[in-house]
Amino acid sequence: MININKIKIPKIIIPLSILAITLNILRVIIWDKVSFVFILWNIFLAFIPFVISSVLLFYSKENKLNKIVFSAGFILWILFIPNAPYLITDFIHLGVIKSVPLIFDIMLLFSSTLIGLILGFYSLFHIEQIIKIKYSTKITSIIMGMIILLISFGIYLGRYLRFNSWDVFVNHTSLVKNILKIFSESANYTTVFLYTGLMFVSLLLFYKSFKYTNPK
Long-range pairs for 68-74: beta carbons < 8 A, 24 or more residues apart? 70/130, 74/127
pLDDT in tens, 32-80: 999 999 999 999 999 999 999 999 999 998 888 899 999 999 999 999 9
Element (H, E) at 124: helix 102-134
Question: Could you tell me which of 29, 40, 126 has the C-alpha nearest to residue 83?
Answer: 40
Element (H, E) at 188: none
| Positions of the chain with pLDDT under 70 | 1-6, 186-188, 214-216
Query: What distance lies between CA 181 and its chain's CA centroid?
Result: 24
Calpha distance 73→52 (Å, rounded): 7
pLDDT averaged over every residue in the chain? 92
Residues contacting residue 195 through CB under 8 Å, at least 6 positions apart:
156, 159, 160
pLDDT of residue 7: 80
pLDDT of residue 48: 97
